[in-house]
Amino acid sequence: MKVVELSVQQKAIIVILVAAIALVLAYSLSQQRDLPVSDSEFFQNVVLAGKIAIIMDVRGADTSATSDKVLQCGTELAGSPKLAGKEIANYGCSDERCVTASTTSNETRSMKYSEAISELNSKGFVYFHIMPGPNNSTFYKKHAEIAINDKFPSACSIN
């Protein structure tokens, strides 16, 4: 087996290329992470965002009443005056697929749940993810997770 010797210049080019790739990967990973924030910081991001999405995710709902509450919450959020004038994409997700429609077109599309989440993150949406679970909300910089069940006591609105 023949060993190839690299010149100092070739070694330097390889080091620079590896460093550049590492920087690109580090930047990409930092952009994908959605860090927890306070509810007020999330809602400030909603106000500043041009594009909002609402995911009504009934996967795993144990009763039709819970599914109804998830869908009702998404409908109420979509009609919020605080979202007026923004592009709103609505996603309805069941155990099989997600279907999406946007306020900027009459087009509807079907996709896997993982594709829907990937699309939202890649297109820069700030989004509400409404799903079955114990009644609580967790806020992140780019999305809120709103878990509700059939005992959810109130309307979903942005104050």
pLDDT over 90 at 82, yes or no: no
Tell me, what's the pLDDT at 27? 44
- Tell me the sheet residues that pair with 140: 36
pLDDT over 80 at 72, yes or no: yes
Q: How far apart are CA 94 and CA 112, in angstroms?
A: 10
pLDDT over 90 at 106, yes or no: no
Residue 57 corresponds to which amino acid? D
Output the average pLDDT for the chain.
85
pLDDT over 60 at 26, yes or no: no
Tell me, what's the pLDDT at 157? 81
pLDDT over 60 at 5, yes or no: yes
- Total-model pTM: 0.77
Contact 88, 82 (CB under 8 A): no
Domain assignments of the chain as residue spans, ordered by start: 39-148
How large a percentage of the chain has pLDDT more than 70?
A: 81
Contacting residues for 78 by C-beta, under 8 A, at least 6 apart: 54, 88, 90
The tokens for 34 are 């959605």
CA R_g for the chain: 21
Region 143-159 average pLDDT: 87
